[in-house]
Amino acid sequence: MIRPARPDDAARVARIAEAGRRENRAMYPHLGYTEVVRRRLNGFDRVFFEKRVQARSISTDPTE
The pLDDT tens digits for 5-63 are: 555 556 888 888 999 998 888 999 999 999 999 999 999 999 999 998 876 666 676 66
CA distance 37 to 55: 24
Instruction: Please count the CA atoms within 13 angstroms of the CA of 37 that sit on its side-chain side.
Output: 5
Residues 6+ apart with CB under 8 A from 48: 14, 15, 16, 35, 36, 37, 38, 39
What is the pLDDT at residue 56? 64
CB 48 within 8 A of CB 37: yes
Q: Is 27 exposed, middle or buried (0-12, 13-18, 19+ CB in 10 A)?
A: middle
